[in-house]
Structure 1
């Protein structure tokens, strides 16, 4: 019986705390500058966009779940048909720490689960392939942003993949520089503008 009372009190205080938070929704759009490490690819430009929900618990801290689209990959440096695009649908959880209370400058960090939402084919920009790519990635990200009083937000992030991207039978790995297939990871700079309603 004592355990039920403890659980009840915990749920009650959690509900009160959440009810007192400032909640808002928003939309973010931006560009990616991405690459896959230890391949023969250069960085490529892509797009990103997200819907997010922000729960502001205090002047210094907010929690922001996000549903995001992110176009990543790499660009062939030798002008062949091997430019690579991987489109991810991501669920992310951003922790936002406001450096000065009631000011807009903030740091952010969190995890992201990314799924290649086009059934995992390698999409060559100028060609075709029957090869596949690892269907998901687990990433961590960090960045800095500024939120204006009227809801406009500017952000810059770096997102690092933690799961090896296995590009099955894709010959960007088979060049003469003896690159290590075990170290092929997503790395993406994201620059975006958002508006919070």
Structure 2
């Protein structure tokens, strides 16, 4: 019993020590291919950028909180109408599961809370409540990536919005909304990241 207890303590402390010596901040730049379900909008290409901190707890797992700017929405296929641009500030929790120890291939899984900061900031300044979409979205994402020893990371993700963004503007709905089902964000994200080694 005592041996098992001390073995558990050694395991826990070694994990904490490993995590403390493997905390690496980083930046990521990339692009989105975004669309909104149940609309006639086409895929829209937009930028994304993030800052993050990677906590490597073991050879198989790391936790990466991040703050991301992500331009989403959809592209109008009607010449007389403008595209729908939604600029989100996203707070995500990325879980990375490495396929094999000491190898860079990993799977990505996590949630994010997305704040439509541009429309909300304009509304606060103008003291109005006039926006085409809801101010918040809750998303779930998954993907795959590869991490090189020197800090370069390549990633591809799919991000699915879980809340109806409520395209309530009448002019917008008459042109693009199909009239049935929820309007949800759907985004493919591709990015190149670099993790800084502060040791």
Residues 1-197 of structure 1 mapped to structure 2, 5 A cutoff: 17-21=15-19, 22-120=22-120, 131-175=131-175, 178-180=178-180, 182-197=181-196
Q: Which structure is higher in helix share?
A: 2
Structure 1 unaligned blocks of 5 or more: 1-12, 123-129
How far 1:118 sits from its partner (Å)? 1.2
Structure 2 unaligned blocks of 5 or more: 1-10, 123-129
Contact 2:38/2:177 (<8 A) preserved: no
Contact 1:40/1:172 (<8 A) preserved: no
The Cα RMSD (Å) is 2.2
What TM-score do you get using the length of structure 2 for normalisation? 0.82
Q: Once superposed, which parts of structure 1, at least 4 consecutive aligned residues long, lie more than 6 Å away? A: 13-16
Contact 1:120/1:133 (<8 A) preserved: no
For residues 177 and 48 of structure 1, the distance between their equivalents in structure 2, rounded to whole angstroms, comes to 26
Contact 1:34/1:43 (<8 A) preserved: yes
Q: Which structure is higher in strand share?
A: 1
For residues 112 and 176 of structure 2, the distance between their equivalents in structure 1, rounded to whole angstroms, comes to 34
For residues 97 and 186 of structure 1, the distance between their equivalents in structure 2, rounded to whole angstroms, comes to 25
Contact 1:39/1:172 (<8 A) preserved: no
How far 1:15 sits from its partner (Å)? 8.0
Q: Count residues in correspondence.
A: 177
